[in-house]
Chains A and B, each alone.
Chain A
Amino acid sequence: DAGVTQSPTHLIKTRGQQVTLRCSPISGHKSVSWYQQVLGQGPQFIFQYYEKEERGRGNFPDRFSARQFPNYSSELNVNALLLGDSALYLCASSFVTGELFFGEGSRLTVL
């Protein structure tokens, strides 16, 4: 079975630009969560979506948004990029709650 897949794996943007990251959950998983991992730190919770509805939001500015599609895949959007948004963005899926299964991440560099 395929695990959680994320795209793109690496990308470089400049300050002020916008980025969209994509995630496909494990087949049968209906919940997708997004985490930001800055170098040298643990992952920080950004969003959880379940059945296309937002079920949780972390302490991130409104520049961060997400959505979940009918096939349970998800997109994370970040507008007006700042240097501090440079990080590994991790997507995780689960049935509803329980252990999270993480993808390999999308590494975003903002110049």
Chain B
Amino acid sequence: AQSVAQPEDQVNVAEGNPLTVKCTYSVSGNPYLFWYVQYPNRGLQFLLKYITGDNLVKGSYGFEAEFNKSQTSFHLKKPSALVSDSALYFCAVRVTGGGNKLTFGTGTQLKVEL
């Protein structure tokens, strides 16, 4: 069975500071990893994905994520946070042959303050 852990329910950061939202995963097989963002009362928006190749993945809105196989982690990062980045962030995993069955974490609420 595959699983995702987002150890922090909430992350607070000051605008202009770097941010990190943590994610660890557990799969039997090669993982495909995703980050999505959800604004209040909205659907999920795709940010970035890791399939294979470079461990540093760049995505939308200046976000990036680093895949670390030995630590089974896929942390989301941004060099300089904006107030508008405040939202709920979900990490998700699926495996090869798993179709579109994504397993999501419980989400991390990011709050960026002035």
Contacts and interface: CB of A to CB of B under 8 A. Distances in A.
Given A48-B100, A58-B101, A90-B44, A99 B49 contact: yes
Interface stretch (B10-18, B61-69, B75-83, B103-111): B103-111
A99 B106 CA distance: 19
A100 B43 contact: no
Interface string A68-111: 00000000000000000000001010100111111111010000
Given A33-B100, A42-B105, A42-B106, 11 more contacts: A31-B100, A42-B92, A42-B104, A45-B101, A48-B100, A48-B101, A56-B101, A58-B101, A99-B46, A100-B46, A102-B45
Contacts of B25: none
Interface residues of B, number: 22
A35 B102 CA distance: 9
Nearest to B91: A42
B90 interface: yes
Interface string A27-69: 0000101010000111111001010000110100000000000
Contact of A92 (B42, B100, B106, B107): B100
Contacts of A48: 99-101
A94 B98 CA distance: 14
B34 interface: yes
A44 B50 CA distance: 21
A103 B44 CA distance: 7
22 contacts: A4-B43, A41-B106, A41-B107, A42-B90, A42-B105, A43-B90, A43-B104, A44-B104, A45-B101, A45-B102, A45-B103, A48-B100, A56-B98, A58-B101, A90-B43, A90-B44, A94-B100, A98-B49, A99-B46, A100-B100, A103-B43, A105-B42
